Amino acid sequence: MMREQTAKPFPWRCPKCLKRAVQPNVLPEYQAKAKHDGRLHEFTIPALQVARCQACGEVLFTNETDEQISRALRENLGLLQPEQIRALRAERTQQDFADLLGTATETISRWETGVVIQSRSMDKFLRIFMTLPEAEETLRQPRGASVPNEWAKAVSPNALPAFQAPFSWDAMFEVSYETPPPAPVETPYGLAA
């Protein structure tokens, strides 16, 4: 199986037998395998659009094939499709939307064009964003302003023992040293510092 990325009119020249006999074709009940979030997923596509050489039978994947597999994978995993993410962004710029979600403008662009599939955790985040108007309000507050006081109290008493008054460098070193200090080196003039 080979991959053909160009959009030139059919018939294409076959990369295997070199005959100009490659035509659009459909593979029924195609067993697709695709990776997402580090896991391999297997699913069936009822009718996969490919190109196929009528002379030697070589199957070629086109851009449309890739897109079809990608859409089927999203559907299989219950993830938002590119146009749904685009609709969710609505009037916001990609930059503004990226800032809100804590990601890069390029990432938003890649989700919307379908080049990249969002992670499952980001997809859950997007769904909360979609269904709860308060989510955006919270995210637009200055960082930390939305953290309830109880959370701050819960972590403060013992989190950083070295910083409890009075501050001392010795206490600081006790908690932060991961490797012992180098042993003194012996020189002709005695021990080096």
Contact residues for Zn ion (CB under 5 A)?
14, 16-17, 53, 55-56, 58
Smaller CB separation from Zn ion, 20 or 33: 20
Looking at the Cβ atoms of 58 and 112, the one nearer to Zn ion is 58
Smallest gap from Cβ 114 to Zn ion, in A, equals 29
The smaller minimum CB distance to Zn ion, of residues 17 and 172, is found at 17
Beta carbons within 10 angstroms of residue 61's beta carbon: 18
Neighbour-count burial of 111, counting CB atoms closer than 10 A to its CB (0-12 exposed, 13-18 middle, 19+ buried):
buried
> Shortest distance, CB of residue 17 to Zn ion, whole angstroms?
3
CA distance 55 to 97: 50
Compare residues 14 and 72 and give the one whose CB is closer to Zn ion. 14
Minimum distance, C-beta of residue 1 to Zn ion, in the bound complex (Å): 12
- Residue 14 or 45 having the CB closest to Zn ion: 14
C-alpha 133/C-alpha 128 separation (Å) is: 9
Query: Using CA atoms, how far apart are residues 184 and 193, in angstroms rounded to an integer?
Result: 6
In the complex, minimum distance from the CB of residue 25 to Zn ion, in angstroms, rounded to a whole number: 12
Please report how many Cα atoms fall inside a 13 Å half-sphere around the Cα of residue 82, on the Cβ side. Answer: 17
Q: Rounded to the nearest whole angstrom, what is the least distance from the CB of residue 58 to Zn ion in the complex?
A: 5
Percent helix, strand, coil in the chain (nearest 5)? Answer: 40, 20, 35
Residue 68 CB, shortest distance to Zn ion, in Å, is 22
| End-to-end CA gap in the chain | 67
58 versus 123: smaller Cβ distance to Zn ion: 58
Residue that is written with structure tokens 């990432």 in the block: 107
Q: Which element (helix H / strand E) includes 97?
A: helix 94-101
- Closest to 26 (Cα-Cα) out of 73, 72, 59, 67: 59
